[in-house]
Amino acid sequence: MNSSSKGLEWKEWLQGWLRLTYETLFQKIHAKHLQDPLPLPPLNGLNCIVTGATSGIGLEIAKQLAESGAHLVMAVRNTNLAHQLIEKWQRNETVSRPLSIDVIELDLFYLESVVKFAQEWNLRSKPLHILINNAGIYSIGQPQKFTKDGYETHIQVNHLAPALLSLLLLPSLKRGSPSRIINMNSLMHVIGVVDPQDMNFLTKKNKFTSRKAYSSSKLAQLKFSSILQKFLINTNIHVMCVEPGAVRTNVTRDLPRILNVLYQKMFFFMFDAQQGSRSALFAATDAEILDYCGVLKAEGCNGCAFIGCHCRISEPSKQVDNERTSFEIWNKTMEMVGLPARCVDMILQGEEIHCRYGAINDR
Active-site hit among 138, 151, 214, 357: 214
Rounded Cα distance, 361 and 348, in Å = 12
The distance from CA 212 to its chain's CA centroid, rounded to whole angstroms, is: 18
Determine the longest span between alpha carbons in the chain, in angstroms.
Answer: 61
Rounded Cα distance, 10 and 15, in Å = 8
Q: In sequence order, what are the residues at sequence separation of 6 or more whose Cβ sits closer than 8 angstroms to the Cβ of residue 51?
A: 58, 75, 76, 106, 108, 132, 133, 134, 135, 162, 165
Terminal CA-CA length for the chain: 45
**Nearest to residue 329, comparing CAs of 189, 172, 188?**
189
> In angstroms, what CA-CA distances link 225 with 18, 138, 203, 306?
25, 20, 26, 10
Amino acid in position 125 = S
Rounded Cα distance, 105 and 18, in Å = 40
Dihedral, CA of residue 228, residue 72, residue 104 and residue 125, to nearest 10 = -70
22 included as an active-site residue: no
Rounded Cα distance, 156 and 149, in Å = 9
Check whether the bond before 178 is cis (ω within 30° of 0): yes
- Interior/surface letters 294-318, b for 16+ CB within 10 angstroms, e for the rest: eebbeeeebbbbbbbbbbeebebbe
Rounded Cα distance, 133 and 149, in Å = 20
Residues with catalytic roles: 214
